[in-house]
Amino acid sequence: MSDPRPASPEGPRVRRTRSGITRLRQVRSHRRRHLPLWVELPLLLLVAFCAAVLLRTFVVQSFDIPSGSMENTLRVGDRVIVNKLVYSMREPQRGEVAVFRGTERWASEMTIEPSTGLLTDIGRVLGDLVGIAAPNEKDLIKRVIAVGGDTVECCDEEGRVTVNGVALDESDYVYDDAPLEADPTANDCRARRFGPVQVPMGQVFVMGDHRGNSKDSRCQGFVPIANFIGRAVYVAWPQDHWTSLPIPPVFDTIPDPVSAFGPAPPDPTAVAIAPVVAWFLRDRRDHFFTVGAR
């Protein structure tokens, strides 16, 4: 049975008023959570700067080409994108264009301009943090020719570099090759002939594509894998030189050192534990058949 008493005319009005007051308080509370622009803008800039530093440190970085040692693949002033993550997961591969830190034996390929003041030094530090500054004087870029265990030399009858006995047709990327008649004993990287040399494990043999104007592993030695910064994957600037940097197909024909020069010697540890493993497996097999017969 319904309540015969009429509803108070003030009831719904009061409820609507309370509801409106609640919503008004929520809106005001939401508005109070917004920061002033003069606080929010510096915070956004700080977050963006930290993200750029993390990206530059661990993932990707741009790199200015400081010299003509990689012409015409890379020209002076080109800016390339370097994948810094790839060499934390695997070692450099033949044919890749890679950025690395030269050892003490390696000469710089660029001239560092002297400091002109405090603001210049601060600009260089900040630019280096976000990856837009000029490269370090020991940061170099070359093409990986041979890796640990490979035997590399020049030249065959046609004046070509060979890796593990296979001659490389480098006509697609080598520019202004070094002269054949230059003295290889001068050790100044002006000669095309060198080797044969076997690359130690954990080391890499690199050369510039502009062989007539490149100081590389021919005269400055191998590069430790730990010194590699990343693989150059794309030319991002200037606009008329946009291009990727793939591995030339000729490097697919190079056999591994084992298949090129016979099987590797057996691992002494594996030889020592082989009888133990065989005895364990035979014992497990006899136990299985004995249990099954019961």
User: 9-18, 199-208, 211-220, 235-244: which has the minimum mean pLDDT?
Assistant: 9-18
Flag whether 11 is in a domain.
no
CATH number at residue 53: 2.10.109.10
pLDDT score recorded for residue 277:
52
Q: Does residue 259 have a pLDDT over 80?
A: no
Confidence bin at 234 (pLDDT 50/70/90): very high
Q: Which of 53, 250, 73 is nearest to 168 (CA)?
A: 250
114: its two tokens: 């002297």
Flag whether 290 is in a domain.
no
What percentage of the chain has pLDDT greater than the value 70? 62
User: 43-47, 53-57, 166-170, 236-240: which has the minimum mean pLDDT?
Assistant: 53-57
| pLDDT tens-digit series, residues 188-231 | 888 999 999 999 999 999 999 999 999 999 999 999 999 999 99
- Say which residue, 211 or 5, is predicted with more confidence: 211
Flag whether 105 is in a domain.
yes
**Secondary structure class of 93 (helix, strand, coil):** coil
pLDDT score recorded for residue 81:
92
**Secondary structure class of 20 (helix, strand, coil):** helix
pLDDT score recorded for residue 267:
47
Q: How far apart are CA 237 and CA 178, in angstroms?
A: 28
Q: Does the N-terminal peptide bond of residue 6 adopt cis geometry, omega within 30 degrees of 0?
A: no
Flag whether 289 is in a domain.
no
Number of domains composing the chain: 1
Rounded to two decimals, the pTM is: 0.68
Q: What is the mean pLDDT of residues 117-145?
A: 66
Confidence bin at 34 (pLDDT 50/70/90): low
CA 159, distance to chain mean position in Å, is 32
Q: How far apart are CA 197 and CA 165, in angstroms?
A: 12
pLDDT score recorded for residue 38:
75
Q: What is the mean pLDDT of residues 158-183?
A: 93
Flag whether 279 is in a domain.
no
Flag whether 84 is in a domain.
yes
Q: Does residue 36 have a pLDDT over 60?
A: yes
- Say which residue, 102 or 261, is predicted with more confidence: 102
Flag whether 182 is in a domain.
yes
Flag whether 186 is in a domain.
yes
Residues known to be catalytic: 69, 142
Domain that holds residue 126: 46-259
Q: How far apart are CA 174 and CA 210, in angstroms?
A: 6
Q: How far apart are CA 233 and CA 204, in angstroms?
A: 19
Helix or strand (DSSP H, E) at 259? helix 257-261
pLDDT score recorded for residue 3:
53
